[in-house]
Structure 1
Amino acid sequence: MKADIQLTETTQSTFQRPELLAPAGNWECAKAAVENGADAIYFGLDRFNARMRAENFTEADLPELMEYLHRRGVKGYVTLNTLIFPQELREAEQYIRSIIAAGVDAIIVQDLGICRLIRHLSPDFPIHASTQMTITSTAGVEFAESVGCNLVVLARECSLNEINKIQSQLAYREASLPLEVFVHGALCVAYSGQCLTSEALGGRSANRGECAQACRMPYELIADGEVVNLGDKKYLLSPQDLAGLDVLPNLVKSGVSSLKIEGRLKSPEYVANVTRVYRQALDRVMEERQTADGSRRGRREAASEGTASVGRQKEEDIRQTADGRWQKEGKENSLIPAFSQEHYNLEMAFSRGLYTGWFRGINNQELVHARFGKKRGVYIGEVIRIGNDQVTVQTQVPVKPGDGVVFDSGHPEAKEEGGRIYAVQMKGKEVVLTFGRRDLNLRRVHIGDKVWKTSDPELDKQLRQSFAGDTPQFQRPINIEVHGEVGQNLIAIARDEIGHVVEVESSMPLVEAHTKPLTLERLQEQFSRLGNTPFCLGNLSNHLNGNVMLPVSELNRIRREIVAQLEELRSQPKRWQINPYASLKDLLPSSLPNSSSTPSLIVLVRNLQQLQAALQTGIETIYCEFEDPLKYREAVQMVRQQGEQGRKNSSTIWVAPPRITKPGENWILQQVRSSEADRYLVRNYDQLQFFAEARCIGDFSLNVANPLTADLFKNHFGLERLTASYDLNISQLGDLLKSSPPDWFEVTIHQHMPMFHMEHCVFCAFLSTGTDFRNCGRPCEKHEVKLRVRGAFPKESRIGTEHILHADAGCRNTVFNGTAQTGAEYVQHLIRLGLRHFRIEFLNETHEQVTQTIHHYQQLLRGELTGSQLWRDLKLQNQLGVTRGSVIHR
């Protein structure tokens, strides 16, 4: 027995089955996920979630939804994954209380203040750190744990190697926080939680669930003032969709706890399709790993006396898997070879091209093909002949009448020709497609056009059938053991896969059997009749002594009672602890009197020439953000020399590491620290840890949007000041200053907004043939590059603006808004609210422009110039092109 226990423990540690997590934008999507094998779903409510355009659920839906999910053995997670502003905290508190009371399984959170609030209200309710938290390292995972998180969703930019490093480091530190990764769906080109493009161009914040998808627009690449001819490559910032199917075994081996499918804005057919593909693939991976590992033990357990294990069924209409089955599964599309069926289904679900993303590391030539930024489907081939309502294509991809196609002439931004196929004729490797008269304008179709299959009605019908009706389509296993002997009642003990246990006793004693005893096979026959229930029979253990019997009717009653009791147990809401006396006000920082100090101007520069200009204007606090951290030493020397020259107001220099730190990149932080600057501008959780003993200020990338988050960084992590989130408008910023001591904060009132911050390197992808920094030839060091939107996006943005591209020490790119913006008109109002620290940032301005701009803001703070005068004066300088900025009231 002891050996058996050890064996079980080893097996469990070796074979961790990841949870399959599916999106649900509405009830139909939730049902599609459940009936196609999701272990959990995630969904938003009508406030505070990162997909506000989804249909979403309401608080009133929660009890019914959670009962349905739990009855089916599925967990439900609510997304509360946006930044929360000060005046919204009380509403958020009520949301959280409702969510906990409804028995939701976890909340997915971006805002660190909300993590604190949840943990204050409940000591045990699970918190999942959203990918919006931009966690890319072990330090980030540990930080999430310190604020009460129970699981971390890693940034999508993490490779398998980096995931494995994080897991190894966590194990070494005896930390055990589970990790979740996105396995399929749309890839954001920018780091989640760090994209300010929609905010900068149109006043719509991605951190508030209002992403306007600027990455899917066409762009021109301008290098050294000249437009680069990239042929049909126009969608320079639109990655292919993520498909982790091919690396699924590696993900399982890495030990991640959850595999997440993106798509809360997608259709129920999409949810059904993608969930089913990954359910089947994941089950295969687990079975193969179990078989490989179990070959040393043989099959003694399955063959041992009194035990039967139900394996994969051979019947044509039933698919048995390791943790469930579909009843009456739809027929496979016989036209598609079996080996490609999964990829075909995924491409038909939604595809801008499918790729493994960053899982296999960085390959800038493949991540973004740049030829289109919208759904395509399955590539059929090229047009080789046209005529008589017919188009001939050379292809091996099956097509059939009713399928929809689109003809791609290389201009996806324009209206494209397409329609449904009326008839199909095979001529060797050529396929003649016939379309209905007037269904297609053949004059707009050309030889050489690419043909994409965008619709498969037969597949859609199969997918809809998978979640139609009220009969469970996907069943989860229960294990049953049977005990008893002659003269005693039969006792059946049933366990489901999530730990519920029920015991049912027969209403009559067992009697001796003379002809048909209750053998393992007879018991299995009766207890496996679980049609129209959420269950299928897993392992059956027979512990009956002797040849005994019981009427079939009584066995059926026991089976029905097992089902009823398990369903009742599963449908009960989770009973999380909640403190009725805890409240938001317990966490709010006390309000202190406004500072009477003189307002100060802080200047951020990005090269040595700008630093020299700032020093000459007498600026006391200077931040440096250079692409090469090694240049910080020279910058520090320049500032120290100024102090040695006996100037009246010597300057302090703060230097900034890059915004992202991944495993193995501490060398960059060491370079930054080796400059021996006065203080540091920290951008992420690694830097909080690395510079813990130094004097630091938190930058905007920490997303401080409310007093709870501010108090966390100020009083728990000892940061001297915090940069207010760029998502705050002037009214919300005022609320932040009223709800916290104003001298905690500084506000950026002039800057080129850092819009996209991304792992994707545009320099490498389009100005070299290399895949990454090792073979790209470093075009970022040789060319000045800008991006220009081809067309108007959104209406509020300026047409023709050239947005500036920079690379950092980690080869990550930032696209800065080519138009500087200012909040100068609100400075006096902010001073009255007690704010004393105002920051202005430069990007590519000359020495003269830096000097002039600083003088304007110095006059503004002294009251010698109004905000509107400053705005008008600087607007006249075409190099700056100032607009109203991110603190406008909207």
Structure 2
Amino acid sequence: MLELLAPAGSMEAVAAAIQNGADAVYLGYGDFNARRNAKNFSEEEFAAAVSYCHVRGAKVYLTLNTLLTDRELPRAAEFAAQASTLGADAVLVQDLGVVRMLRQVAPDLTVHASTQMTIHNLDGVKMAADLGMRRVVLSRELSRDQIEYICQRSPIEIEVFAHGALCMCYSGQCFLSSIIGGRSGNRGLCAQPCRLKYGWGGKADSYPLSLKDLSLAGYLRQLRKMGVACVKLEGRMKRPEYVAVVTGIFSRAIREDREPTPEEINQLQAAFSRQGFTQGYYLDNQGGHMFGVREEGKEPRELFAAARNTYQSGEAQRVPVTFYAMVRPNEPVQVGVKDPEGRVVTVSGQTPEEAHTRPLTTEAVEKQLSRTGGTPYRADRMRVLVEEGLSLPLAALNALRREALDGLTHARAELPQRRTGAYHPGARYENRKEPPVLTISVRKAGQVTPELLELGPALVYIPLEELAAHPELAQAPEGTAIGVILPRVAWDREFPQMLQQLEQVRALGVADALVGNLGMAAAAKELGFTLRGDFGLEVYNTQAVKEFKRLGFASLTLSFELKFPQLRDISKTVDTELITYGRLPLMLMENCIIKNRTGQCNCQNENVLTDRKGAKFPVVKAPGCRNELLNSQILYLADKQADYRRIGLWAQRLLFTMESPQECVQVAKRYLDQGDWSPREYTRGLYYRDVE
């Protein structure tokens, strides 16, 4: 049966989820999770939540799915070790540095790959398995055929989102909130700027980045048959009544092996929606019909009142138990209870007397033992032996039932015996003293000219599709290497073409591959490429650097969400790059907003999205007919070289996107201290300001 995983932003929401049939809840403990604005649990609350759930046969998953700095990792290690000791059943992660830390401090705690890891193909799932993870939460953009393909071949469990908010960008690849507002979605503080107005032609008059909420309520049986292990409900920021309504509807549908009724669908919409729901990604049917905004209406008071009643007025008897009883002459009465996991609690009471009027019967004993109302238990089976002619007060049987169930509750709440360890950051490496070499990445083959190559960059990265179409670019002057940029997203159905192109460029002598997603690493490595990590891998701390080194990466691009002092503090056990010029990528989108606007593919034309403040964001084509939203301003640091040359980099990278071939040469010369070019408007990015 599908596991149903519900959100819990508070202890009340835990009760709402569990009393309405959730098999597990996910919640935050400490400040290191993707919903830091939710009410995260204190140590006492977390312990109480775990006990509450375990007694009722449910699991608790800790969300530790944000990027952490070196200075934050020791504190996160404390939380993780405490959570493991307190009985958390698994932890969700994004940061490979956190994965490495968990092996030290909580080696027995199960690890799940968060959707923030942008795992969307089979190779990504296999990589997560190799890292020791037991489950992967797939990207929400995948269609059902791709989910099924992965499920049928995955070595570990697959979890999918089945209800709740949809991000416009692939989770883990969104930088819009951090770049324009200083609040990072990768750090758990997304300000949701995608829900604001934007538009084309210089007017912010629509909502082209605000998707309707996802609901796969009508596809639960299909998901189960495909091999999905767990369906996840989004909503840790939402109220407990919402959790109760949605969890109850999904739980009943799963338990009864049916789809929700029309009335239940209406209730889901009343609880929360953005102009209805969408299944566009799942059905592989994208377009403008998937978009909507939240319209403030009347609170569904009756629905929410009924929902509150489900978790405030008693216990749902979730746990089936078997009762045993033995009533024999001259022996104390024995009552035992056994739970589904095989725990047995036995208690004994007074010795029965000889009956003078109505002797005790098996039916009477079973009736008293089955009165489990007000507890999490329901009497599923009875094994009762009552010898004839005996008498026993019913109150005595009731007391034994209560004592046995209390003992079972205590046993079910017992903490697991797990190992914990100390967190050791490891030896630090001295930063490089020499200035960084220059690397260049382009978006179009035409940006690579003889004039650019004559400037002697150490590496020029060219997108796979462009390099395959222009094999002549594989040859470069001595001292300059050509590398290939792999797509950050490539579904399994896109892999055959990608592999063919990779083999083609490898045969041309190209030896370096810039990899921005775990799911692309194995293919490049098997073909003999040197792995170089791109910004999409989200390298945020020393432990992540060490983990990627262990995976065979020769160099890594450090996160552009870090400040210079934080970048300097990272111990660079492999060569590191930093983007020092360009329009930073803010969103990678599966739903083509260019086509949504015009009704046809228009990638070659200039497409600019305008926000409510008049800022203009270019939208460009990404591999696989996807969109990439670029920053409105150019990152420019040529006049700040003294600052970034001190942080121990191997390379600084110029990220060319919209530039003409002539502008590419101009910019490269400026970064080589040739000329005095500078952009009219520019930004320093996040390197000088704090990101929450």
TM-score (norm 2): 0.91
- 3-state DSSP of counterpart to 1:688: helix
Deviations 1:234-259 (A, max 9, x none): 21111110111111111222232222
What is the Cα deviation at residue 266 of structure 1? Answer: 0.8
Partner of 1:383: none
> Aligned letter for 2:423?
S
Contact 2:29–2:79 (Cα < 8 Å) also in 1: no
Whether 1:804 aligns to 2:615 is: no
Deviations 1:459-479 (A, max 9, x none): 2222223333xx533221322
**Alignment partner for residue 480 of structure 2, among 635, 645, 651?**
651
Contact 1:242–1:355 (Cα < 8 Å) also in 2: yes
Partner of 2:381: 540
Partner of 2:338: 495
Partner of 1:583: 423
After TM superposition, the structure 1 = structure 2 runs for residues 149-188 of structure 1, keeping only pairs within 5 Å, are: 149-170=133-154, 175=155, 177-188=156-167
Deviations 1:639-668 (A, max 9, x none): 41x54xxxxx44211111210122222124
Partner of 2:314: 472
What is the Cα deviation at residue 191 of structure 1? Answer: 0.9
> Aligned letter for 1:618?
G
Deviations 1:389-413 (A, max 9, x none): xxxxxxxxxxxxxxxx5xxxxxxxx
Deviations 1:532-588 (A, max 9, x none): 112222x21446487686633443233212211111112222332223xx4323xx3
Partner of 2:458: 620
- 3-state DSSP of counterpart to 1:460: helix
- 3-state DSSP of counterpart to 1:690: helix
- 3-state DSSP of counterpart to 2:683: coil
Partner of 1:213: 192
Partner of 1:696: 531
CA distance in 1, matches of 2:605, 2:546: 43
Residues 599, 122 of structure 1: alpha-carbon distance in 2 compared, 3 angstrom cutoff: closer
Partner of 1:815: 629
> Aligned letter for 2:687?
V
Partner of 2:286: 364
- 3-state DSSP of counterpart to 2:25: strand
Residues 53, 616 of structure 1: alpha-carbon distance in 2 compared, 3 angstrom cutoff: same
The percent identity for this pair of structures is: 32
What is the Cα deviation at residue 48 of structure 1? Answer: 1.1
CA distance in 1, matches of 2:423, 2:30: 23
CA distance in 2, matches of 1:499, 1:157: 41
Residues 483, 35 of structure 1: alpha-carbon distance in 2 compared, 3 angstrom cutoff: closer
Contact 1:630–1:672 (Cα < 8 Å) also in 2: no
CA distance in 1, matches of 2:444, 2:353: 88
Residues 536, 138 of structure 1: alpha-carbon distance in 2 compared, 3 angstrom cutoff: same
Partner of 1:599: 436
What is the Cα deviation at residue 94 of structure 1? Answer: 1.8
Whether 1:857 aligns to 2:671 is: yes
Whether 1:740 aligns to 2:572 is: yes
**Alignment partner for residue 508 of structure 1, among 310, 326, 351?**
351
Residues 59, 561 of structure 1: alpha-carbon distance in 2 compared, 3 angstrom cutoff: closer
Contact 1:36–1:473 (Cα < 8 Å) also in 2: no
- Between stretches 240-249 and 43-52, larger displacement belongs to 43-52
What is the Cα deviation at residue 684 of structure 1? Answer: 1.4
Residues 494, 366 of structure 1: alpha-carbon distance in 2 compared, 3 angstrom cutoff: farther
- 3-state DSSP of counterpart to 1:467: helix
Q: Which stretches in structure 1 are left out of the alignment for 5+ residues?
A: 1-16, 290-337, 377-404, 406-453, 644-648, 769-776, 792-798
Residues 543, 162 of structure 1: alpha-carbon distance in 2 compared, 3 angstrom cutoff: farther
What is the Cα deviation at residue 514 of structure 1? Answer: 10
Whether 1:887 aligns to 2:687 is: yes
Q: Which stretches in structure 2 are left out of the alignment for 5+ residues?
A: none
Whether 1:750 aligns to 2:581 is: yes
- 3-state DSSP of counterpart to 2:146: helix
Mark the structure with the bigger radius of gyration: 1
After TM superposition, the structure 1 = structure 2 runs for residues 328-367 of structure 1, keeping only pairs within 5 Å, are: 339-358=261-280, 360-365=282-287
Whether 1:374 aligns to 2:374 is: no
Contact 1:780–1:806 (Cα < 8 Å) also in 2: no
What is the Cα deviation at residue 211 of structure 1? Answer: 0.7
- 3-state DSSP of counterpart to 1:839: strand
Contact 1:70–1:570 (Cα < 8 Å) also in 2: yes
Partner of 2:51: 67
After TM superposition, the structure 1 = structure 2 runs for residues 51-450 of structure 1, keeping only pairs within 5 Å, are: 51-170=35-154, 175=155, 177-222=156-201, 234-285=206-257, 339-358=261-280, 360-365=282-287, 368-369=290-291, 372-376=292-296, 405=297
Partner of 2:304: 460
Contact 1:823–1:887 (Cα < 8 Å) also in 2: no
What is the Cα deviation at residue 93 of structure 1? Answer: 1.7
CA distance in 2, matches of 1:592, 1:251: 48
What is the Cα deviation at residue 260 of structure 1? Answer: 1.4
What is the Cα deviation at residue 486 of structure 1? Answer: 5.3
- 3-state DSSP of counterpart to 1:364: coil
> Aligned letter for 2:194?
C
> Aligned letter for 2:486?
P
> Aligned letter for 2:492?
P
What is the Cα deviation at residue 846 of structure 1? Answer: 0.9
> Aligned letter for 1:116?
R
After TM superposition, the structure 1 = structure 2 runs for residues 769-780 of structure 1, keeping only pairs within 5 Å, are: 779-780=601-602
> Aligned letter for 1:478?
P
> Aligned letter for 1:349?
A
Deviations 1:400-456 (A, max 9, x none): xxxxx5xxxxxxxxxxxxxxxxxxxxxxxxxxxxxxxxxxxxxxxxxxxxxxxx322
What is the Cα deviation at residue 786 of structure 1? Answer: 2.0
After TM superposition, the structure 1 = structure 2 runs for residues 781-800 of structure 1, keeping only pairs within 5 Å, are: 781-789=603-611, 791=612, 799-800=613-614
Contact 1:513–1:547 (Cα < 8 Å) also in 2: no
Residues 577, 518 of structure 1: alpha-carbon distance in 2 compared, 3 angstrom cutoff: farther
> Aligned letter for 2:413?
S
Contact 2:439–2:651 (Cα < 8 Å) also in 1: yes
> Aligned letter for 1:759?
E
Residues 47, 197 of structure 1: alpha-carbon distance in 2 compared, 3 angstrom cutoff: same
Deviations 1:781-801 (A, max 9, x none): 553322112x1xxxxxxx323
What is the Cα deviation at residue 131 of structure 1? Answer: 1.0
Partner of 1:423: none
Partner of 1:637: 472
Contact 2:56–2:319 (Cα < 8 Å) also in 1: no
CA distance in 2, matches of 1:782, 1:615: 25
CA distance in 1, matches of 2:226, 2:520: 26
CA distance in 1, matches of 2:637, 2:411: 57
Q: CA RMSD in A?
A: 2.8
